[in-house]
Amino acid sequence: MFFDLIVVGGGAAGFFSAITCAENSDKSVLILEKTTQLLQKVKISGGGRCNVTHDCFEPRELSRNYPRGEKSLIGPFHRFGAADTVDWFSSRGVTLKTEADGRMFPDTDSSQTIIDALLGAADAAGVAIHTSEGVTSIVKNEDNFELETDTGDSYTAASVLIATGGTRLTAGAKLAASLGHKLQPPTPSLFTFKIKDPRLDEMLGLSVSPAEVSIQQSKLRSSGPVLITHWGLSGPGILKISAWGARELAERDYRFNISVNWLPGADPAAVIADKRQSEAKRQLSSRSPFAPIPKRLWLRFLAAAEIHETMTWSQLSKTQANQLLGQLTTSTFAVIGKSTNKDEFVTCGGISLNEINFQTMQSKLVNGLYFAGEVIDVDGVTGGYNFQNAWTNGFHAGSAIAAQ
């Protein structure tokens, strides 16, 4: 069976590519998805709300949120960026709202809204979709591609787009390798830190914003809200540093020490000095003198600084004050592993950037072969950036194929 375009992978990037091509041409388009579920990452993203994109409309600024792919994406974002994503969904009846941290979600707070929009657009454009059908081989002959699937079916296509995601070493990456492409090794990119420390025990759900995190014996650092979980630390401040340090932290087998400044931009030494004078008879444990630090966590810092809960500010020694300052501004935690951020997963690795034309997303090695999404060695920090990469890649690939 012949199709002008066969898309391997039924995720965000694959759908956007297929829809863009079909809406802008009369080409026949087929999506082949090996699982039973379409748009699986869209469904679980943002706790089931789908973080569609980020409120960042300047292309160069937007590109700075990609540890891998920053320079390659500047041009593509000029042609299809976050504002274009907002317009695209708006034209299909989906209004996006912006939260305080810049993340953008459908105003329904349901990922099903985004799924329905993509499925509806694909259906209206005449895109054929086969689930439970994985591609096992792709062979390029003179004019076309021959595809075999695990159902025993065969297809011929003028163009093939691989958009199989970035989880581990996907079948899509292996297909690309079989066609001559080099692969960067897959490495987890957005993850939380496993930490066992008495300061964090029974602090589940407590968040401090903002905080600064740095990896000891490294140049890696980030800022943002830090969330205490039952296994350690999470939140944007942790997830960002995990993305920028993905390969370095993997090489360290996720065993390293971090320093956390819970009060960036503040002068806790001055506050402590003032309290020793103005509240001399008040016990330190009565309340936290710092708005970002809840009392429960404050009490843990006092204990770690060996300050008894009955001690008053006037009784605080210089040594104890310095120990307390250390807990507030340079808390050291030993990381003993990583955990997935909720049910979400992002990896760096995949098709080498220098083997792709980012104006068209076409392979520089194989004419008619295209890529989109996380199968490429591009990944963004948390906040809707990975979906924006998918929409941008899909738009450029679909447009280029439609124009052929």
Percent of the chain scoring above 90 in pLDDT: 92
Question: What does the mean pLDDT of the chain come to?
Answer: 95
What is the predicted pLDDT for the residue at 186?
Answer: 85
Report whether pLDDT(271) > 60.
Answer: yes
* pLDDT tens digits, one per residue of 206-219: 999 999 999 999 99
298 within 8 A of 156, measured Cβ to Cβ: no
Percent of the chain scoring above 70 in pLDDT: 98
d(CA 331, CA 212): 11
DSSP output for 117-157: HHHHHHHHTT-EEE-S--EEEEEE-SS-EEEEETTS-EEEE
What is the predicted pLDDT for the residue at 118?
Answer: 98
Adjacent-strand bridge partners of 7: 31, 161
Q: Is the dihedral of CA 100, 105, 108, 112 positive or negative?
A: negative
The token pair that represents 318 in the structure block: 């210089």
The token pair that represents 269 in the structure block: 């030494």
Report whether pLDDT(169) > 90.
Answer: no
The token pair that represents 54 in the structure block: 């980020």
211 within 8 A of 224, measured Cβ to Cβ: yes
Report whether pLDDT(71) > 60.
Answer: yes
Q: At the top level of CATH, which class does the domain 191-263+333-340 belong to?
A: mainly beta
CATH topology of domain 2-187+346-403: FAD/NAD(P)-binding domain (3.50.50)
The token pair that represents 202 in the structure block: 């029974």
* pLDDT tens digits, one per residue of 177-186: 999 999 998 8
Burial tier of 116 (Cβ tally within 10 Å: 0-12, 13-18, 19+): middle
What is the predicted pLDDT for the residue at 342?
Answer: 57
Average pLDDT over residues 344-352: 82
Q: Is 48 left (phi over 0), alpha (psi -120 to 50) or beta?
A: left
DSSP state of 34: S
Average pLDDT over residues 3-8: 98
* pLDDT tens digits, one per residue of 107-156: 999 999 999 999 999 999 999 999 999 999 999 998 999 999 999 999 99
d(CA 230, CA 247): 25
- Global pTM value: 0.88
Report whether pLDDT(347) > 90.
Answer: no
Report whether pLDDT(19) > 70.
Answer: yes
Report whether pLDDT(167) > 70.
Answer: no
